[in-house]
Amino acid sequence: MVDASGSRRADVLVKGEVVAAVEPGLSGGGHGTVVLDAAGCIVAPGLVDLHAHLREPGAEEAETIETGARAAALGGYTAIVAMPNTQPATDSAAVVRQVLDLAKGACCDVRPAGAITVGREGRLLAPMAEMAALGVRIFTDDGNCVQDASVMRRALEYASGLGVVIADHCEEPALAGAGWMNEGELSSLLGLPGRPAVSEEIVVRRDLALARLTGARLHLLHLSCALAVAAVREARAEGVAVTAEVAPHHLVLTEEAVGSYDPVFKVNPPLRTASDLVALLAGLVDGTIDAIATDHAPHPLEAKQVAFSEAAPGMVGLETALGIALGELGLPAERVLALMSWQPAAIAGLAGFHGGPVAPGAPANLCVIDPSRRWKVVAAALASRSHNTPFAGRELTGKVRHTIFAGEPVVIAEEAQR
Amino acid sequence: MTPQHLLSVADLGPEGIDEVLRLADTFVEVGRRPIPRVPALRGKTVASAFFEDSTRTRLSFEAAAKRLSADVMTFTSSSSSLNKGESLRDTVLTLEAMGVDAFVIRHSCAGVPAQVAGWLESAGAASAAAGPGGAGGTGGTSGAGGAGGASAVTGPRGASVLNAGDGAHEHPTQALLDCFTISRERERRFGHSPARPAVLSGLRIAIVGDIRHSRVARSNVIAFSTLGASVTLVAPPTLLPPSLCGWPVEVSHDMDGVVAKSDVVYLLRLQSERMNEQFLPSLREYTATFGLTAERARLLGPSALVMHPGPVRRGIEIAAEVADSPCSVITTQVANGVAVRMAVLYLLLGSGAQVGA
């Protein structure tokens, strides 16, 4: 059993929605108790994803809250933050309520993030207090960068009064907007217009300066380049209240994948270079980056089987994130779980509900991980409604065997139960 | 071995390029006959699928296919089902279902010919696996030249894809016809026949203008350097690619100096929209700095050739009197285009039968 307080050998007894006992040699809970085999496995607090696009309302052909939550549970998540770039955008209490309603009965906790601005247009502040009253803790215009520095400043100031977090998609559209891949040697050869890493660095540095000015809590979404990691490291040393996440694909894939012109590898921010991978991993190791978040971005086949210019950016990740993080980063399991469970839980304001610790009386949101399970990613076998994974055919090591959400085994032996 | 597709001019290598050029010699001769037609590709079907307007290249390819006696299907996006919402992939697979041996693809986005080749191969692998006779196709005939697989052994290989220009990536047949034009025009004018296959050995070639957005420049850098020329790119830094790391080129911003010492000055077309995107202050300033004006043309050496892929904007990239002067081989390029495209089609589709007759 691994949680923030360390690791130990123990059995876990769940009664109702809470953990009843954690100790070695527990012998069942009486008649009717479901016993889940965890031999050779890690029992851990359920994973928490800060960054999932569930597409509902508005693009149910790509994903729904139900299918996205099922994919998440299969990936070990007991809570996911649903990005607000829906149609309509999650920029009002009404849409927040709709998402929360649709999430009832889902395989995991679905927490909507609210938009910072009305329609995610970057002009007028969305009613953050009304959404915060419904439990929204993260606000972002993700997919769009908040372009206007004044709007970003006011959003940070306003949010600080509500105790919520402003999260930014850091890419300056004037520099990145026309591009479809990382700008550099390879884009020059391929003839594809590029999104330079500095377009990310510029916004990261602006946002850090505004966070310093306002004292507000800032979260930086899907950092992809060495320049951004360096900026965050400096700001943390200064004491700026910033957290940051990185996506699995940015940790193990480089722009070389785009050489095939396969739009499955088109994503914003784009896949970068090998030296960026090294810097992002160093950021995970030294604590500059707090979380691994999927940026799960489902798109139907027809949105990807088109010219690279016209393809929708993004890739699914909920079902592969843990396998990538455990098997390919060379990090100890405790560190991976910190990055995927209790640290993101704290950022999302879910501490106490998700992310452990696993102790008597705590909510029973758990996952059971077989760290040595080898498996091959089969795109068509994914539970997500869309299959745009960049890892199709890849052999991963480490898979979730069981997931327990609110005391219920929603995944047993790698099979979803609802 | 001949590649199945021509996606990049690099697919051919020096020997492949030389083979195209030598075949093109034959087809130039064919073009001079009273009936400029050979039966080399009789029974083959060539589909020209142009998803971006280009009358010149399309007509050149179609003329080449017809002179080889191939049947030609024409698809242009303006008159197409794309306007009815059909996807690019469905369009290609629909044409293939009618029976196509080669697709000539033009698209405004880099990589589309490579994607089309992939779609055709996976569709071919799927139908081979599902086909009669229980051949048990292994599926995944992975890429050009994949020797294994039941379909490769028992049946003819799938349709070829010829890149007729994809975004800012490549335009291989333009580069081939440019190499042919330089090589043969120098032979014709100065009589010497350099050692092959490095037919451009020792030549100094300047490519001038909007390198950044140019597929012609990318293919020509590869082809010219493969054949032994040394290439200098001349452009303002805004019109160079973001990185030239690994490119076998030198860069200069001094048009006068480069013009004076080049054997070939190759001018690229400049699109007016570059001004709106802040790549350039004005056309006037571009012409003054990088245009081949009549005054600057006086710096050209006596044996220098001036080239342009067309369409030419007289007075912008090149002065009218320079375009019409003896050093200009711009119309020769167009004339050679048909023969070179015949050579490419023959190389990829021909059964190895004699060209003659």
Percent of chain B at pLDDT exceeding 70: 85
Say if B341 is an interface residue toward chain A (CB within 8 Å). Answer: no
pLDDT for residue B78: 65
pLDDT for residue B353: 54
Distance between CA atoms of residues A91 and A139, nearest Å: 9
Which amino acid makes up residue B196?
R
Say if B243 is an interface residue toward chain A (CB within 8 Å). Answer: yes
Q: pLDDT digit string (tens) for A283-315? A: 999 999 999 999 999 999 999 999 999 999 999
Number of Cα atoms under 13 Å in the Cβ half of residue A187: 27
**Would you give the DSSP letter of residue A259?**
G
Which chain B residue's Cα is nearest to A174?
B277
Kindly report the length of chain B.
357
Say if A184 is an interface residue toward chain B (CB within 8 Å). Answer: yes
pLDDT for residue B146: 33
Number of Cα atoms under 13 Å in the Cβ half of residue B176: 37
| pLDDT, averaged across chain B | 88
Q: Which residue has the higher pLDDT, B168 or B277?
A: B168
R_g of chain B computed on alpha carbons: 21
Distance between CA atoms of residues A409 and A9, nearest Å: 21
* The pLDDT of residue A104 is above 70: yes
Check whether the bond before A390 is cis (ω within 30° of 0): no
Q: Is A316 helix (H, G, I), strand (E, B) or coil?
A: coil
pLDDT for residue B111: 97
Distance between CA atoms of residues B21 and A248, nearest Å: 48
Indicate the pairing of strand B305-307 with strand B264-267. Answer: parallel
pLDDT for residue A102: 98
Which amino acid makes up residue B329?
V
Closest of A143, A133, A135, A193 to residue A169, by C-alpha: A143
Distance between CA atoms of residues A127 and A6, nearest Å: 41
How far out from the chain centre does Cα B231 lie?
A: 18
Per the CB < 8 A criterion, the answer to whether A78 and A405 are in contact is yes
Contacts of A59 (CB under 8 A, 6+ apart): A86, A87
Q: pLDDT digit string (tens) for A116-163? A: 999 999 999 999 999 999 999 999 999 999 999 999 999 999 999 999
Distance between CA atoms of residues A254 and A270, nearest Å: 9
* The pLDDT of residue A27 is above 90: no
* The pLDDT of residue A42 is above 80: yes
Per the CB < 8 A criterion, the answer to whether B274 and B280 are in contact is yes
Distance between CA atoms of residues B268 and B286, nearest Å: 12
- Lowest-confidence pick of A146-150, A213-217, A247-251, B86-90: B86-90
Confidence category of residue B122, pLDDT binned at 50, 70, 90? confident
* The pLDDT of residue B289 is above 60: yes
With CB atoms and an 8 Å threshold, state whether B169 touches A302.
no
Distance between CA atoms of residues A27 and A147, nearest Å: 58
Residues of chain A positioned with their CB less than 8 A from the CB of B241 = 187-188
Distance between CA atoms of residues B96 and B76, nearest Å: 15
* The pLDDT of residue B135 is above 60: no
Q: pLDDT digit string (tens) for B244-272? A: 999 999 999 999 999 999 999 999 999 88
The nearest CA of chain B is from the CA of A161 a distance in Å of: 42
* Whether ipTM exceeds 0.95: no
Closest of B66, B143, B144, B70 to residue B101, by C-alpha: B70
Distance between CA atoms of residues B162 and B182, nearest Å: 23
| pLDDT, averaged across chain A | 97
Candidates A183, A195, A261, A264: best to mutate against B (most CBs of B within 10 A) is A261
Distance between CA atoms of residues A38 and A18, nearest Å: 19
* The pLDDT of residue B195 is above 60: no
Distance between CA atoms of residues A120 and A115, nearest Å: 6
Instruction: Please state the three-class secondary structure of chain B as a single string.
Output: CCCCCECCHHHCHHHHHHHHHHHHHHHHHHHCCCCCCCCCCCCCEEEEEECCCCHHHHHHHHHHHHHCCCEEEEEEHHHCHHHHCCCHHHHHHHHHHCCCCEEEEEECCCCHHHHHHHHHHHHHHHHHHHCHHHCCCCCCCCCCCCCCCHHHHHCCCCCEEEEEEECCCECHHHHHHHHHHHHHHHHHHHCCCCCCCCCCCCCEEEEECCCCCCHHHHHHHHHHHHCCCEEEEECCHHHCCCCCCCCCEEEECCHHHHHHCCCEEEECCCCCHHHHCCCCCCHHHHHHHHCECHHHHCCCCCCCEEECCCCCCECCCECHHHHCCCCECHHHHHHHHHHHHHHHHHHHHCCCCCCCC
Q: pLDDT digit string (tens) for B36-59? A: 999 999 999 999 999 998 889 999
Q: Element (H or E) spanning A331, and its range?
A: none
Over range A76-98, report the average pLDDT. Answer: 98
- Find the CB nearest B169 among A184, A191, A260: A191
Confidence category of residue B144, pLDDT binned at 50, 70, 90? very low
Over range A202-222, report the average pLDDT. Answer: 98
Distance between CA atoms of residues A107 and A109, nearest Å: 7
pLDDT for residue B28: 96
Confidence category of residue B84, pLDDT binned at 50, 70, 90? low
Tokens representing B282?
């004005």
Over range A249-256, report the average pLDDT. Answer: 98
- Find the CB nearest A309 among B109, B118, B119: B109
**Would you give the DSSP letter of residue A312?**
P
This model's pTM is above 0.90: yes
Confidence category of residue A48, pLDDT binned at 50, 70, 90? very high
Q: Is A132 helix (H, G, I), strand (E, B) or coil?
A: helix
Q: Is A182 helix (H, G, I), strand (E, B) or coil?
A: strand
Distance between CA atoms of residues A41 and A48, nearest Å: 19
Q: Which residue has the higher pLDDT, A28 or A36?
A: A36
For chain B positions 55-114, those within 8 Å of chain A (CB to CB) are 87-89, 107-112, 114
Distance between CA atoms of residues B357 and B226, nearest Å: 33
Q: Is A24 helix (H, G, I), strand (E, B) or coil?
A: coil
pLDDT for residue B345: 98
Say if B310 is an interface residue toward chain A (CB within 8 Å). Answer: no
Over range B18-29, report the average pLDDT. Answer: 96
CB atoms under 10 Å from CB of A375, counted, come to: 17
Over range B280-293, report the average pLDDT. Answer: 95
Residues of chain B positioned with their CB less than 8 A from the CB of A190 = 110-111, 169
* The pLDDT of residue B354 is above 60: no
Catalytic residues of A: 295
Instruction: Please state the three-class secondary structure of A338-406 as a single string.
Output: HHHHHHHHHHCCCECCECCCCCCCCECCEEEEEEEEEEECCHHHCCCCCCCCCCCCCEEEEEEEEEEEC
pLDDT for residue B197: 55
pLDDT for residue A227: 98
Contacts of B12 (CB under 8 A, 6+ apart): B3, B6, B19, B20, B172, B176
Percent of chain A at pLDDT exceeding 70: 100
pLDDT for residue B54: 87
Per the CB < 8 A criterion, the answer to whether A341 and A46 are in contact is yes
Over range A200-228, report the average pLDDT. Answer: 98
Say if A189 is an interface residue toward chain B (CB within 8 Å). Answer: yes
- Helix axes A226-238 and A274-286, enclosed angle (nearest 10): 20
Which chain A residue's Cα is nearest to B218?
A189
CB atoms under 10 Å from CB of A230, counted, come to: 17
Indicate the pairing of strand A47-52 with strand A77-82. Answer: parallel
With CB atoms and an 8 Å threshold, state whether A307 touches B241.
no
CB atoms under 10 Å from CB of A394, counted, come to: 16
* The pLDDT of residue B351 is above 70: no
Sheet holding B71-76: strands in order across? B71-76, B45-50, B102-107, B160-166
Distance between CA atoms of residues B54 and B165, nearest Å: 10
- Helix axes B55-67 and B172-190, enclosed angle (nearest 10): 70
With CB atoms and an 8 Å threshold, state whether B169 touches A194.
no
pLDDT for residue B192: 66
* The pLDDT of residue B134 is above 90: no
Q: Which residue has the higher pLDDT, A39 or B86?
A: A39
pLDDT for residue A175: 96
pLDDT for residue B145: 34
Residues of chain A positioned with their CB less than 8 A from the CB of B243 = 184-185, 187-188
CA dihedral A32→A34→A37→A38, nearest 10 degrees, is -130
* The pLDDT of residue A203 is above 90: yes
pLDDT for residue A409: 98
Over range B136-161, report the average pLDDT. Answer: 46
Q: Element (H or E) spanning A99, and its range?
A: helix A93-103
Distance between CA atoms of residues A22 and A13, nearest Å: 6
